[in-house]
A = this chain, B = another copy of it.
């Protein structure tokens, strides 16, 4: 992870997990969405995109097609939910932070890299608010990170690249907090169903993976 990669954003982090490169920026917005007005609470939301040639063969540009795919919308909702789960929206106050996660190069695990990097950008953005005296305390009670893992011929593997991911029988994503909680568990059988025991094995592997990411997040932020 590298921070301060954007000159303009209130927080930014370039995540490189293998050949997956995601640029995450945090933008501070002074208002909140209409349905949240006058409730003394803030909001954290995310948008996700992928450059057309981030992938092995070129993917059509969503802006040119005129709409975001279901996959894009599903991912950006997941990123937003994951970050809100570790944000104290009351402490944040009536302001919104938008996390833009743009995949420059993809090789599996783009959504989990995005979540892990977006937390760093979000931290920079809210730390700046604390430094400026705008809010009293850091509204981030815990770190959040995510990993993808899967079953390849029945063997549980962490952080699959694209080639592994395509052939994996089961694909799972775990979003976890540094305080030991689970924010999101998604396990999907691509071809044949998986067992409960396999789910537990993936869960243990994911815990090991997110612990490494928490350490890296603290390192780049100097915590």
Contacts and interface: CB of A to CB of B under 8 A. Distances in A.
A187 B182 contact: yes
Given A81-B188, A181-B189, A185-B199, 6 more contacts: A6-B54, A9-B53, A85-B189, A142-B193, A181-B195, A185-B187
Given A7-B19, A27-B52, A105-B6, A47 B73 contact: no
A74 interface: yes
A85 B6 contact: no
Interface string A47-74: 1010111111110011110111111111
Interface stretch (A34-42, A96-104, A108-116): A96-104
A29 to B, nearest CB: 7
A81 to B, nearest CB: 6
Contact of A67 (B63, B86, B187, B193): B63
Contact of A52 (B81, B100, B177): B100
A147 to B, nearest CB: 15
A179 interface: yes
A49 B68 CA distance: 15
Copies in the complex: 6
Interface string A173-207: 00011011111111111011111100110010000
A217 interface: no
A219 interface: no
Contact of A199 (B27, B62, B182, B186): B182
22 contacts: A7-B107, A8-B54, A27-B52, A49-B61, A51-B100, A68-B70, A70-B76, A71-B77, A85-B189, A104-B104, A172-B185, A177-B193, A179-B193, A180-B193, A181-B189, A181-B194, A181-B195, A182-B193, A183-B189, A183-B193, A186-B187, A200-B200
Nearest to A198: B182
A64 B47 contact: yes
Given A62-B63, A77-B74, A199-B185, A53 B100 contact: yes
